[in-house]
Amino acid sequence: KPQVSLAVGLRRTIEEFSSRLARDSSALPKIYVQCNPLLDISAHVDAEFLKKYDVQPASAALFGEKQEGIYADIESRADHVFIPGGSGLNTARVAQWVSQAPIRSLVSYTGCVADDKYGAILKNSAEKEGVVMNVEYTTKAPTGSCAVCITGKERSLVANLAAANCLTGAHLETAEVQKALKESKLFYLTGFTLTVNVDYVLTVAKKAHQVGGKFMLNLSAPFIVQFFGEQLNKVLPYVDVLFSNDDEAKVFSEANKFGTTNVTEIAQKTAALPYNGPHGSRLVVFTQGSQPTVWATTSATAEVAVQPIEASKIIDTNGAGDAFVGGFLAGLARGADITKSIQAGNYAAGVVIQHDGCTFPETSSFTF
């Protein structure tokens, strides 16, 4: 009898704890992420492999005729690993991880895949990590994929956007996406979404403000600023929080004729650009690798130190920026201030760069 009573008591304790955790998490502002989903196929290769597919070491390129067959080839490697990716999905996964919220209770993701092998792997893997996947299925192209060719400490990326480019406005009107938009308070899109259709980005931005939420955007890459500046300028007045790394920030400064390469000054000038959001001022957050992260509004600016990591422990820096934003979003969801949210972002980036791809331990050790 004592054993039965102990078992019952333990079960009730666990149920009560789980119920309380669910209640606490249900009160968190939900996170909506939209981007171009890609399934990363990662494996170690040699110089001959790169030569065979005309891939340059430590490069990032779009799939072309010379790379025909590369995905099947890299998948045939014994050490190949599938990782649900694309910049925004990396961020969504990290936000769920750092937040420590019950799975499928906090983060939703919208993007386009095909109903094929890669699409199933991507969707199922992300869902197992706790992200609600509101994906559109297209028949126009296969699921987007990225061959991650590892040679030593270098990574060469070959991306085939394929279905990721096929998101439609009709999908944003579906019941599941509308539910996610209505229930969320934190909205994050990468700059890469500007390459698909700027109207889809504006739809989310306006919806974010209608529900009293925050709309956040990442510059994502220098080419977004250089070649999609018109689209970016249409969206920027709605952006409550803008993310970028220091290289992208300097390109943005040049494009806007700020006349400076000082990252803090660029952040201040970016915060002062026209803003019609409901939150008083735009927040700008610029990462600088191992150097302090800079943030600015129209009334304040500051730096947040990055904890140093031994060079020998750094394996792959490709997902650092995505991971930073994921940690930052988790901070906002947990009610943290700017400094604490940046610390969460710096923590997430620091963990991810010590792993292959945007991967991380099962449990986050960051405390809010």
Is the separation of the CB atoms in 353 and 314 below 8 Å? yes
Tell me the C-alpha distance between 185 and 177, whole Å. Answer: 14
Strands 154-160 and 145-151: antiparallel
| Tokens representing residue 266 in the block | 């660029």
Query: At CB < 8 A and 24+ separation, what contacts does 15-19 make?
Result: 18/102
Helices (H), the chain: 2-26, 47-52, 70-75, 87-99, 117-128, 169-172, 175-183, 198-210, 222-227, 229-235, 246-255, 263-271, 320-333, 338-352
| Tokens representing residue 359 in the block | 């991967």
- Measured from the Cβ of residue 15, the count of other Cβ atoms closer than 10 Å reads 10
Helices (H), 43-160: 47-52, 70-75, 87-99, 117-128
The residue annotated as part of the active site, out of 54, 322, 337, 356, is 322
| Tokens representing residue 328 in the block | 């930052």
| Tokens representing residue 357 in the block | 């791809």
- Count Cα neighbours of 122 within 13 Å in the Cβ-side half-sphere: 34
Instruction: Clarify whether 322 is annotated catalytic.
Output: yes
Q: What phi and psi, each to the nearest 5 degrees, are found at residue 358?
A: -85, 75
Looking at residue 114, its amino acid is: A
Tell me the C-alpha distance between 174 and 72, whole Å. Answer: 34
Element (H, E) at 33: strand 30-34
Q: Show which residues are catalytic.
A: 322
